[in-house]
Amino acid sequence: MSQVSLIRPAQETRIVTSDISLLALGILVVVLGFTLPWLGLSRNLLSLLTSATTTAILATGVGFLVRQSGLSSFGHAGFYGGAAYLVVLMSVYTGLPGEFIVLAAPVIAAFVSLLLAFVLLRTSGVAFSMLSLAVAQALFELMMRWREIANGEDGLRLRLPRELFGLKLSFFQKADTMFLVSWTCLVLIVIGLVLLTRSRFGTLALAIKNNEERARFIGYRTLMPRAIVLALSGLIAAIGGTLFALYNGYVTPGLLHWSLSGEALVIAIIGGTRSVWGPALGAFIFVILRDVAGNYTTHWQMIVGLALIVVVLLLPKGVSGAVSTFVKRFGRARNA
Amino acid sequence: MLIQILNGLVYGGLIYIVSVGLVLIFGLRRVVNFAHGGFYMLGAYAGYTAAIVLGFWGGLLASVVILAVIGIALDYVVFRPLQNADHMVTVLVTFGILLVFEDAVHMIWGADSISVAAPYPFDGTIQIGEIAFPVYRLLVIAVALAVAAGLTLWLRYSRAGLYVRASSVDALTTGMQGVDTERLSLAVVGLGAALAGLSGVIASPLLALSPSMGSSILIESFIVVVTGGLGSFAGAFVAAIIIGQVHNLGIVYVPNVASMLPLLLMVAVLIWKPTGFARSYI
C-alpha cells in the first residue's frame, strides 16, 4: 500500500521478548474462558457470551482476510448464515446423521468459498467489497423468496436427533455447556491462524498483499494463495454459523443480510486487524456494549456507529493494537 | 409494455441521481460513500418536514441546501483529515455515519413509513394508450435527464468541470498544475450530497418514507456504480437505465427472483469485465 511498507517488513513475524507478556495475558484469558461456566455468572450473561463467541469466530474470519489479503469483505454473512442454513436444511430434508451434517456444513461452505474466490478475486479493493456484498445478498434474497424450502422470512427450525457426538443435543443448546464448545473452537481457530501467519504460507500471503506483482516476479504463483486465504476465512465464518445454528436451533434470513456482514467488518476493525485475536476481542466488546446500551436505550445503532467512528479515528490499530502497545510498554518498564 | 419500460425509466432515473452523486464523490475522494444512503433518506425526511411550511417545492429546495451543507461538512471533517489513510478506513467511517443517520431519523420521525402526495400540478394522470399514467412519474424521468444533461455540460464545458475530470484521473498532478483540489472536493462532495437530497425528495411521492429506505437504495446504487465502472459518469448513466429496466421487468415477469436480478447482472458484468462497462474514467 504505502511506499514505506515495501521496504520494511509489514508485520513482525518472529516472537520478540516483549511478546511474552502478551502471550501470558493471552493464556490467562483462555484459561479464564474455560472456567467461566463455574464462576456463577447469570444465565443471561453466559448466553450473551456464547453468542459473542460465535460472532467472534465470524469476525475472526473477516479480520483474517483483511490481515492476510487486505480485502474487506461485505459478504461474510453469506458464509456464516449459509453454513447455518445448510445445517438446518440438511437436518430437515435429509436423513443424514447429525455428526455428518455439523461437520459437512462448514466444509461445503469452505469449498464454495474456494470456488467463489476465483470469481471474487478478479476484482480488488472496493469492487471486491461490493461483489462479495452482492453474492451474499443474492443468497439472502434466495432464502427470503424460496418459501417452499426455506420458509422465507420466518426462518426454519433445526431438526436433529437427540444425540450428537455421543452427547445430548441439549448440551449444545444450553449456554453453560455450549460456551465451552464455542470457546474451544474460537481458541483453536485463533491458535491455528497465529501459527499459519507465522508460517511460510502466511508470509507469502502477506507478500502478495503488499505487492502482488513483485511476488509473481520472484517466482510465486499468486492466485492460489489468495484463494486459499479467502476459503479459510470463509471456513472460519462458516464454523461460526454452524455453531450458531446448533445453539439457537433456528435460522432466519437475517443471518445472511449485508448488515450482518457490515457488522462483522466493523467488529473486526474496532478490534483491530493487525493481530489475529483483535477481531475476537472486538466481538466481545461489541456484543457487550450493544447489550449494555440496549438496556438503557433503543438507539444502540447510533452508539455502534459513533463507537466505530471514534475507534477508527482515534485508534487506527484498533483496540487490540492499543492493548498490545500498552502491554508491551508495561513489560518493558518492568524489565528495565 | 410501454408502461413497464416507462416505469423502469422512472426507477432507473431515480437511482441514476443517487449513483451519480456517489460517482462524483468517488472521483475526487476515492471513497465509496456509504453515508450516501443516509443522505438520500435524510433528504427525503428533511424535504417532508420543510414541505409542511414551504410546500413541496420549497421543501425540495430546503432539502438540497441542507444536504449540500452536510456534504461539505462531511468532506471537511472526515474526508480531508483521512485522505492519507487507507480508503477502507474512510469507507468504514461513512458506514458508521449511515448507522448514526438511520438511528437519528428513527428517533426524530419514528419507524412508521410516511407517504407523501405528488405535488400540484403534477398530481394528475395522463392517458398513454389505454392506461392512465401518473404525470409525476414523467416528471421524475425529466428531472433525471435534466441532471444528466446539466452534469454533462458542466463537466465538459466549464472550467470547474474540467478540474473535476482532471482530479478524478489524477488528483495529485491536478494539484501540481495549480488547482485547489481541496476546495474542489468540498464543492463536489457538497454537490453529490445535494443530489442525494434531491433524489430523496423526488422519490418520496413514489416510495414511502421509512428509516430503511436509505440502505435499500444504497445497494442498488452500488450495483449501478460498480457495473458502470467505478468513477465513470457515462457508465453510471447506462448502468442505471439497464438496472432500472431489469429491476422493473423482473418485478412484472419473474417476481420471485426479481430482487436478485440486478445483483446477478453485476456479478456477470464483473466476471466479464472486472472494471465495469466503462474502462476509463468519464
Residues A82, A274: contact at Cβ < 8 Å?
no
CB contact B53 to A (< 8 Å): no
Q: What is the model's pLDDT at position A9?
A: 47
- What residue type is assigned to position B111 of the chain? A
Residues in B touching A1 (Cβ below 8 Å): 86
pLDDT of residue A171: 75
Q: Does B93 touch chain A (CB under 8 A)?
A: yes
User: Given this model, what pLDDT does residue B189 score?
Assistant: 92
For an interface test with B, which of A119, A130, A265 has the most B Cβ atoms less than 10 Å from its Cβ? A130
User: Which pLDDT tens digit goes with each residue over A182-191?
Assistant: 999 999 999 9
**B246 contacts in chain A (CB < 8 Å):** none
Q: What is the pLDDT of residue B18?
A: 92
Of B97, B223, B276, the CB nearest to A305: B97
> How far is the CA of B2 from the CAs of B115, B145, B187, in angstroms?
27, 18, 39
CA B135 remoteness from chain centre: 22
Question: What is the pLDDT tens value at each position of chain B, 282 positions in all?
Answer: 788 888 889 999 999 999 999 988 888 888 888 899 999 999 999 999 988 888 888 889 999 999 999 999 999 988 888 888 777 778 888 888 988 888 888 888 888 888 877 777 777 777 777 778 888 888 889 999 999 999 999 988 998 888 888 888 888 888 888 888 888 889 999 999 999 999 999 888 888 888 888 888 888 888 888 888 877 888 889 999 999 999 888 888 887 777 788 888 888 887 787 777 765 443
Among A122, A133, A269, select the one facing B92 at the smallest CB separation: A269
Interface of A with B in 102-121 (CB under 8 A): 119
Provide CB contacts within 8 A for B5, sequence distance 6+. B245, B248
Q: Pick from A47, A11, A53, A65: which is nearest to A281 by CA?
A: A53
* Backbone angles phi and psi of A2, in degrees to 5: -80, 160
Beta bridge partners of A127: none
> Letter for the amino acid at A113?
S
pLDDT at residue number A269: 85
ipTM of the complex: 0.76
Q: How much is the pLDDT for B70?
A: 94
- Considering only CB atoms, which chain B residues are within 8 Å of A306? 96, 100
Asked if residues A172 and A181 have their Cβ atoms less than 8 Å apart, the reply is yes
| Cell of residue A310, nine digits | 471514534
pLDDT at A335: 59
At A91 the pLDDT is 87
- Measured in degrees and rounded to the nearest 5, phi and psi for residue A253 equal -60, -20
Report d(CA B164, CA A328) in Å as an integer. Answer: 47
> What would the pLDDT profile of A195-213 be if each residue is shown by its tens digit?
998 888 888 888 888 888 8
Phi-psi region of B209 (alpha: psi -120 to 50; beta: other; left: phi over 0): beta
Q: Specify the DSSP element, H or E, that contains A17.
A: none
**pLDDT score at A16:** 54
Q: Which residues in chain A are closer than 8 Å to B92, comparing Cβ atoms?
A: 265-266, 269, 308, 312
Can you read off the three cell numbers belonging to residue B113? 413509513
The whole-angstrom distance between residue A172's C-alpha and the CA centroid of its chain comes to 20
Profile chain A (336 residues) by mean pLDDT over runs of 10 residues.
Answer: 44 56 82 80 84 93 90 91 92 84 92 89 80 86 81 80 75 82 92 90 86 86 89 95 90 88 88 87 87 76 82 80 79 62
Listing DSSP states for A100-151 in one string gives: HHHHHHHHHHHHHHHHHHHHHTTS-HHHHHHHHHHHHHHHHHHHHH-HHHH-
Q: What span, in angstroms and rounded, lies between the C-alpha atoms of A249 and A13?
A: 41
pTM, 2 dp: 0.83
B264 and A299 within 8 Å at the Cβ level: the answer is no
Q: Best mutation site among A302, A303, A306 for testing chain B: the one with the most B CBs within 10 Å?
A: A302
pLDDT at residue number A157? 85
A257 Cα to chain B: minimum distance (Å): 11
Name the residue of chain A whose CA is nearest to B261's CA. A138
Task: Give, rounded to a whole angstrom, the gap between the first and last alpha carbons of chain A.
Answer: 36
Q: What is the per-residue pLDDT for A114?
A: 93
Cα of B93 to nearest chain A Cα, Å = 5
Instruction: Report CA-CA distances (Å) from A215 to A64, A65, A118, A223.
Output: 20, 18, 18, 11
Q: Within an 8 Å CB–CB cutoff, is residue A265 touching chain B?
A: yes
- Cell 456464516 found at: A80
Write out the three cell numbers for A214.
513483485
**A-chain residue closest to B258, CA distance:** A141
For A130, which of B87, B96, B226 is closest by C-beta distance?
A: B226
